[in-house]
């Protein structure tokens, strides 16, 4: 059987639904998704992903295709821009749900933040996630940023194993959506 061809490309606005699915998978917890974006969280996340200047905007995403079919996405941004991007994100959440969530900061200045990565279920086990993360980091490091950061649920050792296998190291902990998270970073000289 022929190995599938994985292609990573810059996202386009029409990839908003795929990006939204990746973000929802990254958040993972339906209770957190409802608290963040309301009952129709997929519609809210899709609108956020289709809008420039938001945390999950297509303009900050890469999409993986397997044999020409969208298989997953990664989205991230400069940690220095978190508050500005949240303004756009929360404006959409407020418009569509009537409320604004209270969420802890998941990143900080000095790191380029890998916010969300998700692989659609039918494409898991093909190294799509690993390829997305690697390409994301390569792209970040090519733009003169020296540090990629992310958080991963401390109860998800499989995800942490993926990141540490790529050179990420624990640098601290954070509380996010009520979960204890490991804060991991990758320095440019590690990849």
What integer is the mean pLDDT of 40-50?
97
Chain segment 143-174, per-residue pLDDT in tens: 989 999 999 999 999 999 999 999 999 999 99
Integer CA distances (angstroms), 88 to 84, 102, 190, in order: 7, 15, 33
Going along the chain from its start, the domains and CATH numbers come out as 6-190 (3.40.630.30)
The helix (run of H) or strand (run of E) holding residue 64 is strand 61-66
Chain segment 92-136, per-residue pLDDT in tens: 999 999 998 888 899 989 999 999 999 999 999 999 999 999 999
Q: State residue 34 phi and psi, 5-degree precision.
A: -65, -40
Q: pLDDT-derived band of residue 190, with 50, 70 and 90 as boundaries?
A: low
């Amino acid at each position: 059987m022929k190995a599938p061809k994985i292609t990573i490309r810059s996202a386009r606005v029409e990839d908003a639904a795929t990006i939204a699915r990746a973000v929802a998978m990254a958040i993972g917890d339906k209770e957190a998704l409802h608290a963040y974006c309301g009952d129709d969280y997929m519609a809210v996340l899709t609108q956020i992903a289709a809008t420039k200047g938001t945390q999950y905007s297509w303009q900050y995403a890469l999409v993986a295709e397997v044999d020409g079919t969208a298989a997953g996405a990664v989205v991230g941004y400069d940690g220095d821009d978190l508050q500005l991007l949240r303004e756009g994100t929360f404006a959409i959440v407020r418009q569509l749900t009537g409320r604004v969530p209270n969420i802890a900061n998941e990143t900080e200045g000095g790191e380029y933040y890998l916010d969300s990565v998700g692989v659609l279920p039918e494409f898991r086990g093909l190294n799509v996630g690993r390829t997305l993360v690697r390409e994301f980091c390569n792209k970040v490091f090519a733009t003169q940023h020296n540090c990629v950061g992310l958080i991963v649920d401390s109860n998800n050792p499989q995800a942490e194993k993926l990141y540490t296998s790529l050179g990420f190291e624990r640098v601290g902990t954070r509380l996010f959506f009520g979960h204890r998270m490991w804060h991991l970073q990758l320095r440019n000289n590690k990849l």
